[in-house]
Amino acid sequence: MRKVSFHSTIFGILLVVLIPVRNLRAQNLDSLFQHSLEFARQQLENSVAEIVDTTQFARSTDEYGNWTTKSSGSWTSGFFPGCLWHMYKYTSDSTWKNWARSWTAGLWDEQYDTGTHDVGFKVFDSYGLGYRMTINEDYKPVILRAAQSLATRYNSTVGCTRSWNNRTFPVIIDNMMNLELLFWASKNGGETEWYDMAISHGLRTMQDHVRADGSTYQIVDYNPTTGIIIQKETSQGYTTESTWARGQSWGLYGFTMAYRHTGDVRLLETACKLADFVVDNLPEDYVPYWDYFAPNIPNEEKDASAAAIAASGLLELSGLVDSTDLQVKYWNTAENILASLSSDSYLAESSNSSGILLHGVGNHNKGSEVDVSLIYADYYFIEALLRHQGLVSPTLAPREYACLTPTKIKLLPNYPNPFNPVTTIPYRLSESANLAFSVYDLTGRRIRSFDTVYQNAGNHRFIFNARQLASGIYLFVMQAGPQVKSIKITLVR
């Protein structure tokens, strides 16, 4: 009789105990997050009725819990239409599409705004999201024009786009978010130099804003003639050397997104450094104080917006890192944040707020928008919930393409990654099959498909010429009937 070792017995018991616990956690979270999305739907429906005027955009709540609105010039104006687009994705109901289109149209003039880096937030989260969801070709020129506006703020000596018009040439950590407008536009009919500007900006921010421990400065002010740093500062953080929580989240999300667009491993490593700082410094309820080093913690305000942005960024990052430990760490932290935000402590369900999340902080130093609902907290909260469901991009492995096991397809080792521009993907078939091959981008869009071929069991290789593809991260998918094998491929030009 086979001897059963002590270790394998313990392992067996652990499996029996842990797998149901894990499933239970997943089920509980799924229904908790579903509840949050339903609440978001209800709140946004009420907000549409509350605001009515499509030239006014929800920003933060007042002392009565009502929305204070701003005109299209506010840096936050893209988030309300963005929330409506998210709801269209969630419900597939054209009522949401119509509302989203109406408020998006109210932002038309912003494409010409050369006065702030926030043109990115304004246009990419409204027109940009609408385009990616509906492929409305009328939106594309608006996005490209906005990218052109942002590009006017680029200085090649500094290697960055200028964030604000005060100081000398300030670049703020928030600006990482707006690089997506440049990356996307350069790959969708815009200028290739916009891509170069965005990657340069990302690398300079990596060098100057990120400290050795993965925390960040908010502002670096440069001399635009020499490119030399004049000084480092903060505007919304506690002190220059502390770490403003939302800025840290912008950086985490921004470096992750920049890696997705470039495949540049330095950007991935930076995203991980920032993420590790967040994971290591979150308080017990996973929602950061407005500054990680605010002087009177625990008697300081929390910032739900910093939590929501971090959660969304961590979900994406968990799909981009190769190490399973990191994947689990980032995914679980994101889930913990979202669970906390979905609890009575943060969800605005039993409050008078028109928002979805309570306890956001706009600018603590100015005493402005402290402990209120913030439209951008709601936007990234919904985005993260949808990312968790695999409903919005970017998700590395859209649910329907997730790897099914056991599979008759096995990728063989020594897979070259990154590849440039022709790659060979070796694999083994355990039995003969009709194999279909395709390549997806991280928006879940199939960008290449190849004829299905019948192959016998054994070792094979697929030679893929990626010459026409832009830098970034893609999914190579092999499918044999219901069995699917997918692998992340990194393309660096």
* Interaction site with ligand GLY (CB under 6 A): 75, 174, 236, 246
Catalytic residue among 113, 118, 264, 291: 118
Cβ neighbours for 477, distance < 8 A, ≥ 6 positions apart: 401, 437, 438, 439, 440, 484, 485, 486
Residue closer to ligand GLY, measured from CB, 119 or 480:
119
Q: What is the closest distance, in whole angstroms, from the C-beta atom of residue 375 to ligand GLY in the complex?
A: 12
Residue closer to ligand GLY, measured from CB, 75 or 103:
75
Q: What is the closest distance, in whole angstroms, from the C-beta atom of residue 315 to ligand GLY in the complex?
A: 20
| Torsion sign over Cα 90, 92, 95, 100 | positive
Cβ neighbours for 269, distance < 8 A, ≥ 6 positions apart: none
For the sheet containing 229-233, what is the strand order? 170-172, 219-222, 229-233
| Torsion sign over Cα 80, 85, 90, 91 | positive
Residue closer to ligand GLY, measured from CB, 89 or 246:
246
CA distance 318 to 324: 9
174 is catalytic: yes
Question: What residue type is assigned to position 251 of the chain?
Answer: G
Q: What is the closest distance, in whole angstroms, from the C-beta atom of residue 366 to ligand GLY in the complex?
A: 11
Q: What is the closest distance, in whole angstroms, from the C-beta atom of residue 399 to ligand GLY in the complex?
A: 32
Whose structure tokens read 């340069």? 200
Catalytic residue among 113, 174, 264, 378: 174
C-alpha angle 198-203-204 in degrees, rounded to nearest 5: 100
Q: What is the closest distance, in whole angstroms, from the C-beta atom of residue 78 to ligand GLY in the complex?
A: 12
In angstroms and rounded to an integer, the radius of gyration of the C-alpha atoms of the chain is 23
Residue closer to ligand GLY, measured from CB, 132 or 246:
246
213 is catalytic: no
Regarding beta strands 422-429 and 446-455, do their DSSP bridges make them parallel or antiparallel, or are they unpaired? unpaired
- Tell which residue, 301, 171, 163, has the closest CA to residue 238: 301
Residue closer to ligand GLY, measured from CB, 375 or 489:
375
CA distance 23 to 27: 6
464 and 433 Cβ atoms separated by less than 8 Å: no
| Torsion sign over Cα 35, 39, 42, 48 | negative
C-alpha angle 284-289-291 in degrees, rounded to nearest 5: 135
Q: What is the closest distance, in whole angstroms, from the C-beta atom of residue 377 to ligand GLY in the complex?
A: 10
Q: What is the closest distance, in whole angstroms, from the C-beta atom of residue 75 to ligand GLY in the complex?
A: 6
| Torsion sign over Cα 208, 211, 214, 216 | negative
Q: What is the closest distance, in whole angstroms, from the C-beta atom of residue 392 to ligand GLY in the complex?
A: 21
For 344-376, give the DSSP string.
Answer: TTTBGGGSS-SSSB--EEEETTTTEEEEE-BHH
Residue closer to ligand GLY, measured from CB, 149 or 236:
236
- Tell which residue, 185, 211, 209, has the closest CA to residue 196: 185
Residue nearest to ligand GLY (CB): 174
| Torsion sign over Cα 386, 391, 392, 398 | positive
CA distance 263 to 419: 10
Q: What is the closest distance, in whole angstroms, from the C-beta atom of residue 239 to ligand GLY in the complex?
A: 17
For residue 323, give both structure tokens.
């190490």
Supply the residues annotated as catalytic: 118, 174
